[in-house]
């Protein structure tokens, strides 16, 4: 039987990695024994903390040509965020919580998108709807993804459904969500041992907005100065990225996970329009955005509106 490839987006975060594993488990329970989780990038320290804690192996890095292959997308749908050969694949199923854009298929498919804080919350609902038992390690991965995407339930993207799912999952996983979640987020927030190139690419996504292609990277930290103090080397890495790729603007978002604020570093064509989107002015290519933590809900929409 041909394999079914399951994966999240490029530069995968905890939800992208974990949801691929969770969806593979769902498919196996549903009779699709060929289902297998993959990843489209390196595993970050936050995600690795969760995988190690719940003793789950990271998915294999996807290197196959997907032309003619059956695939399931989780935590994304936009083709520029997906595998390089995605346009030739047979997309059978999508489970996502983001906007729908630049997406098309040759045939019908199952598509489930809900405006929740995390793809793993949708998968939790799918398990319950089917009456499937959730193993403790799968519950732990679901909980970890919810904590990651919601910044421990502080993000405006976090819904009551996410919180209710987390309460149920922490019991199955056998952890305290607040204690475990803070340690997991801290594991992913240290930036001192990362290069500038790693920082700007670790959690970056590309978006088509009007006539612009915008690259938006996000870095979580417990100290914004840890990021902003490296502005010169970050700008060099961003400039090289802009010169080597078809991006018009690069926005690096540094998010303080303890105080729920962010700072942005912006380079590229019409960079001042990014500041305009937030009603601020750039000072030496940077601006402070109080109360902004969510790329999906607080960063992408105003930039899209301004550039479109």
What are the tens digits of pLDDT across the range 167-187?
A: 999 999 999 999 999 999 989
pLDDT at 38: 98
Instruction: Assess whether pLDDT exceeds 80 at residue 266.
Output: yes
Q: What is the pLDDT of residue 253?
A: 97
Average pLDDT over residues 287-292: 96
Q: Which residues of 50-61 are buried (b: 16+ CB within 10 A; e: fewer)?
A: bbebbebebbee
93 is in an annotated binding site: no
Has residue 117 got a pLDDT over 80?
Answer: yes
pLDDT score of 145: 98
Q: For the segment 127-143, what is each residue's pLDDT rounded down to a tens digit?
A: 999 999 999 999 999 99
Q: List C-alpha distances in Å: 13 to 17, 126, 292.
A: 6, 21, 19
251 and 217 in contact (C-beta within 8 Å)?
yes
What is the per-residue pLDDT for 188? Answer: 86
CA–CA separation, 38 and 49 (whole Å): 18
Q: Answer yes or no: is 15 a known binding residue.
A: yes
What lies within 8 Å, CB to CB, of 244 at 6+ separation is none
The DSSP output letter for 81 is: G
245 or 15: which leads in pLDDT: 15
Is 104 one of the annotated binding-site residues?
A: no
pLDDT band for position 245 (50/70/90)? confident
Residue 191's pLDDT band, with cuts at 50, 70 and 90, is: confident
The model's pTM is 0.81
* Residue-level pLDDT at 189: 85
Question: Parallel, antiparallel, or unpaired for β 35-39 and 4-7?
Answer: parallel
Residue 258: what pLDDT? Answer: 87
Q: Give Cβ neighbours of residue 63 (< 8 Å, ≥ 6 apart).
A: none
Q: Is the pLDDT of residue 1 over 80?
A: no
Tokens representing 137?
Answer: 């390690």
Residue 190 has pLDDT above 90, yes or no: no
To the question of whether residue 283 is assigned a binding role by annotation, the answer is no
Confirm whether residue 248 is marked as ligand binding.
Answer: no
Instruction: State the DSSP code for 69.
Output: -
Residue 192, pLDDT score:
79
């Amino acid at each position: 039987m041909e394999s079914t490839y399951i994966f999240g987006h490029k530069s995968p975060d905890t939800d992208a990695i974990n949801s691929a594993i969770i969806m593979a488990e769902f498919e196996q329970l549903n009779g699709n024994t060929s289902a297998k989780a993959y990843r489209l990038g390196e595993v970050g320290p936050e995600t690795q903390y969760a995988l190690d804690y719940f003793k789950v192996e990271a998915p294999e890095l996807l290197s196959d040509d997907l032309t003619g292959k059956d695939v399931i997308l989780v935590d994304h749908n936009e083709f520029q965020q997906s595998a390089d050969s995605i346009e030739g694949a047979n997309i059978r199923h999508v489970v996502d919580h983001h906007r729908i854009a630049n997406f098309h298929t040759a045939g019908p498919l199952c598509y489930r998108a809900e405006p929740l804080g995390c793809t793993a919350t949708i998968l939790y609902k799918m398990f319950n709807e089917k009456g499937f038992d959730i193993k403790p390690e799968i519950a732990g991965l679901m909980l970890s993804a919810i904590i990651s995407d919601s910044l421990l339930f502080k993000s405006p993207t976090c819904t009551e459904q996410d919180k209710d799912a987390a309460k149920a999952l922490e019991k199955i996983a056998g952890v305290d969500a607040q204690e475990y979640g803070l340690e997991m987020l801290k594991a992913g927030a240290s930036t001192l041992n990362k290069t500038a190139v790693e920082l700007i690419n670790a959690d970056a996504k590309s978006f088509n907005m009007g006539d612009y292609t915008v690259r938006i990277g996000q870095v979580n930290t417990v100290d914004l100065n840890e990021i902003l103090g490296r502005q010169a080397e970050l700008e060099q890495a961003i400039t090289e990225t802009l010169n080597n790729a078809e991006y018009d603007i690069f926005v690096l978002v540094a998010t303080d996970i303890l105080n729920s604020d962010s700072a942005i570093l912006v380079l590229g064509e019409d960079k001042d329009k990014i500041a305009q989107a937030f009603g601020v002015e750039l000072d030496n290519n940077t601006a402070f955005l109080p109360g902004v933590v969510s790329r999906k809900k607080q960063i992408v929409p105003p930039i899209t509106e301004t550039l479109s």
